[in-house]
Structures are given as C-alpha cells and as structure tokens.
Amino acid sequence: MKAAVVDRRGGIPAYRDVPDPEPGEGEVVVTVEAVAVENVDRAIVAGTHYTAAAFQEALPAIPCFDGVGRLSDGTLVGFGGLQPPRGALAERVAVPAVATSPIPEGIEPPVACALATAITGMSMRTAGGLRAGETVLIQGATGVAGRLAVQIARLLGAGRIVATGRDDGALAELVALGADEVITTAVDDDALVEAYRAHAGDGYDVVVDYLWGRPTQLLTQALTPDSFALPEPTRLVHVGEAAGPTIELSGDAVRTSGLEIYGAARNLATGMAAAYGQVVEWVRGGELRIDVTTMPLSRIREAWQRTDLRGSRLVIVPG
C-alpha cells in the first residue's frame, strides 16, 4: 500500500510503498478516508514539539496520529491510538479497536476529521467558564482554530468578541464571522499594549490564546492597572504558541490584574463529551462552518508545503 513517509528530522513526507498493516491482538484495520494536517503534526515532524521524541526516534515514520476511516463492515469511524512509526497518512492503518468511535451521521469525513480543531474553541467554556454576555478576546483569530473560536464565542452567547491577528485582510473577514472588533498585532510594542487597553471596554472576561509569545506578554502588561485597583478577573486559556513558546510574566501582572491562566485541557476530561456533542450539533445545523481544503495522499509533498490555506484546514484524502 501507499503512505506518506518521513525519513529525517524536519523532512517533507514522501509518497511511498510500505507494507500492509498487520493487526495485532485487539486491533482492527481501518481504510483511511480523511486525515487533517495540523500545526502539531508539522511540529512533531520538525522535532520542535514537546512530544516529538518518539516520532524522531522511530524514523522513518508516517506522520499524523488520528483520522477518519471505514472498518471492514463500512462503518465510518474516527481513529487514533497510533504509535510511531505508524501514522495516519496511509491508505490503511491498524489501530486498537478501543481507539475507534463512530462518526455521527450527516458529517462528511473531511469535516469530521477537523472537528477536534473546533473543540479547542470550546475551551473558552470548559476551561475558561465563559458565561453569556461576557467579553471574549481571541488571540490569533485568523488561523483555522481562531476563526472557529470566533464563531463559537458568538454561538455561546458572548456579549462582545475582540479578535487579533497580523493579516489585515484576514482580520476584516472575522467581522462577518462574528467579531465585533479587531486588533492587528503587526505594530510596535507600545501601540499593541495601547490597542489592548483601548478595546478592553469593561475588561476581557475570557481570553482564548492561540499565540503566547510576544502578543500575550504585551497583553499581560496591558491588563496590569496603573493604580491600586481591583479589576474583575481575566481568565486566560492557553491553547497554542504560534507566536512563541515562552513569555516573561511580571509579578504585578498576576498580583494586581486579576489575571488567571488555565491550560486548554482544564476540565476537558469531564467536559469533552458535551463539547463534542455541541460542536456536532452546530455543524449539522449549518451554524458552525469548518473550512477544509482536501488534497490526495499522492500529492502529500506538495500539500505539506502549502502556505496559502488561510483559515482553511488541510485534509488529506485517498487518491
């Protein structure tokens, strides 16, 4: 069978012949229908993600660890549980039977495999405790996950949505998706701090942060009051680090700003089922739109190097 294979750290996957999967005890063979290529997959191949060691040690290896496919009886399932060198970018995979789950009817495979991206947006409720009427700041809203988060904030009843990004054209598109105000991060530090303050209104209740790095560090400065004040808490949910892996956090930003920082996985163990069900309901009803761009597995080298998919998730399909 064919698969996408990486043979060196930071390499570009190549379309190659590999042995057919041989299922072990408790495993089933899945014929792959769709695999979403996400930033985490690229980071693992590049060796820059904190979980990348196992993949790098197993080279040559097949990237991506989950997807959507069909069992031998035709049932459409989501699958995971793959360990390097085995990965999802193949025609068929052997996975633990317990790592498969039926895909809800009415959702096509390319969209189904991108549902997890929308779950990150649901962290504004599961981790951040968003309540109807509150103000949400979405850091890095022009990417795939950020655009979904804007839609989700509106669907969850946010009173005001502020979105940030570097691309003015992409920021303008966010207004149509539900953003009330936008902030460009492509300005100098002082201007960005001032922009955060100018758009805060009565304060940001929840921040969904896909950026970290410089923008988030400057946001913590913007949240720090200039006088002895007792601001309402800002619950910052850390999801990604597109702008950098670290920030410098001063003590006064924590002592006096009311800043609370949570990881996106907070409460997800108990809230995942409800979050997933809500996303499925919205997608089925057409209220939540997940943009995907599909390309065949045979063109994986070209697909992996694409940089023009603004706001659209790359999904690899058979062919």
pLDDT tens-digit series, residues 107-146: 999 999 999 889 999 999 999 999 999 999 999 999 999 9
Q: Tell me if 148 sits within 8 A of 290, measured CB to CB.
A: yes
308: its two tokens: 């023009």
- pTM for the model: 0.90
pLDDT number for residue 217: 97
Pairing state of beta strands 234-238 and 206-209? parallel
pLDDT number for residue 157: 98
Higher pLDDT, 258 or 170: 170
CA-to-CA dists, residue 42 to 65, 293, 315, angstroms: 12, 17, 13
Domains of the chain: 2-114+290-317 (3.90.180.10), 118-268 (3.90.180.10)
pLDDT band for position 313 (50/70/90)?
very high
Alpha-carbon gap, residue 259 to 267, rounded angstroms: 19
12: its two tokens: 């570009």
Q: Which of 200, 214, 152 is closest to 177 using CA atoms?
A: 152
Give the model confidence (pLDDT) of 85-102 as tens digits: 999 999 999 999 999 999
